[in-house]
Structure 1
Amino acid sequence: MRSPTLIALGSELRRYRLAAGNMTQGHLAKLINYSEGMISNVETAQKVPRRDFVERCDQALKTGGTLMVLHGLLKHETHPVQSFARFAEAERQASGIHMWDIVVVPGIFQTPEYARALLAAGRPAARPEVIEDLVTARIERQEVFSRERPPALWAVLDESALRRQIGGTKTQRGQLERLAELAEQPGVNIQVIPHTMGAHPGLTSSFIILSFDDAPDIAYSEDPATGHLHEKPDLVKAMSQAYEALRVFALPVPTSLDLIRQIREEL
């Protein structure tokens, strides 16, 4: 199910483009410095555009801000597919990624085996091919590590996320090995809140905060029913403050890596 607002945005973009002297997608792409494929994906409601893309289209097509009005309405929609699609697109463009997870190792760190076991457990009625598609999509998010300019990445994990055996001992050990490898990469910082810390500010939920060079921070969280993309400044600020509080409770990065390796050896 595609978002009605996203469909309207794509339709209006196409209408204004054709009204501008029957302008081609290729011509518009050159004017706004985006790919022709991106324009096609937005016009057919296949991709949620960033604010920058819509602003450039508004200016190039002289719409008087009509497209930005529609884009602004997207943030009020809660369809889980659209929320995650917008988050995934934003994640690819983020200059900083800050994650907190109390339950499991975050998706961007997961091995295929760990992701497969986790996704299958959460969708017991899903066909195997559906699970494999979801695994592929999750692993593709890890392309951020191989970018020419990868984002600065900070993760705070509760010790519970490291000790919960997803997919059995072999899979969990492989996941912890992967986590330790990533923790040694430049720009990747992983901290662990040990069980000995007791109560702390993150016991209620997990979340991710994305930061950008030229746009405000946004945040993402999930509940059993849907995913939520948070863009209201006050809410994002509150989540950022909670994240900084969690870092105070966490072990330093080198000590956290030692704990990850210790737990792996105990399996």
Structure 2
Amino acid sequence: MTHRKDLDPSSNPRALLGCELRHARERKGLSQEALGAPLFVSGSFIGQLEAGTRRMHLEYARHFDEVLDTGGFFERNCKAVAKSKYPDHFAEAAEAEAIATAIREYAPLLIPGLLQTEGYARAMFRSGRPTATPDAIDELVKARLERAHILRDPTTPLLWAVLDEASIRRVVGGRAVMAEALNHVAALGRRHRAIVQVMPFSAGAHPLVQGSIKLMTFENAPPLAYAEGVETGRLEDDPATVRRQTLAYDLLGASALSPQDSLALIESVAEDYTHEDQP
């Protein structure tokens, strides 16, 4: 067997690890379905590992080393890939988000992380961690703001966010913080960097009224859906499930205010916060 150099964690290790997995699998003459069956995972999941959109967990790595005769390569390098600055329940979703070609998200209660300002993010983290040190909060805020770096590209990824009216009415961090946060969201919409809609209270029930959803599509891998709760999150790759959730999102967008009316509402609420914050 040819000996490969272990991966450098600083050089997009998950994509490199996925590429090595594909080469090792093909050398053994195995399909994605055959490699995933003993682990009770689908062939599409193996494909996502190979494309670098999913994280390789240690138990999978050990199985691959055994079946593909790779001498512990995947187990060793899996440990490097597992390191993340994000909470465990969100790390895999954040990594997938960074390489997605399109992101569609519905936020029922809060402004989505990719659209948050520093002040808004800081208030959110502090509310959930009242005894955390300032340094710990700083690290969390830094990691959240770094996620938004993907928006520096003028066109990719496509970002489409539907905000429930509750997320722009809920005062997080004070009225000045909310004014800044909403003006930031509106500016992204006005610059055509994001599609932003608001689901008004008047719409009543809608397909995603029970929770949030993030849908991600990729250039060379199947789409993923991510649902999040309190200190928990789940990435979904089952094609039928993702299709149903995509339909729900499309219906949601059809029921929400138009992008033009949504930006007008967001800017109006931001103006109200600005005036109310003045003595």
1:202-252 Cα offsets, whole Å, 9 max, x none, are 221011000112211101111124111111112211211111111111011
Q: How many residues are treated as equivalent by the alignment?
A: 230
Answering whether residue 102 of structure 2 is matched by residue 96 of structure 1, we say yes
Answering whether residue 207 of structure 2 is matched by residue 201 of structure 1, we say yes
Counterparts of 1:1-267 in structure 2, within 5 Å, are 19-20=1-2, 22-25=3-6, 37-38=8-9, 42=13, 49=14, 53-59=17-23, 62=27, 69=36, 72=46, 81-147=87-153, 149-267=155-273
Cα–Cα, structure 1 residues 148 and 261, in superposed 2: closer, same or farther, change >3 Å? closer
Q: Indicate the SS of the match to 1:179.
A: helix
- What is the Cα deviation at residue 76 of structure 1? 10
> Percent identical across equivalent pairs?
34
Q: Is the contact between residue 151 and residue 187 of structure 1 (CA under 8 Å) also seen in structure 2?
A: no
TM-score, normalised to structure 2's length?
Answer: 0.73
- Which 5+ residue runs of structure 2 have no aligned equivalent? 40-44, 58-81, 274-279
1:53-98 Cα offsets, whole Å, 9 max, x none, are 5244431683555996477497898x99444221111111111010
TM-score, normalised to structure 1's length?
Answer: 0.76
Supply the distance in 2 between the matched residues of 1:40 and 1:265 (Cα, whole angstroms): 44
- What is the Cα deviation at residue 126 of structure 1? 2.0
Cα–Cα, structure 1 residues 63 and 39, in superposed 2: closer, same or farther, change >3 Å? farther
- What is the Cα deviation at residue 191 of structure 1? 0.5
Q: Partner amino acid for 1:265? A: E
Cα–Cα, structure 1 residues 173 and 54, in superposed 2: closer, same or farther, change >3 Å? same
1:145-196 Cα offsets, whole Å, 9 max, x none, are 1136521111111111001010001100110110111111234100111112
Supply the distance in 2 between the matched residues of 1:99 and 1:163 (Cα, whole angstroms): 18
Q: Partner amino acid for 2:22? A: D
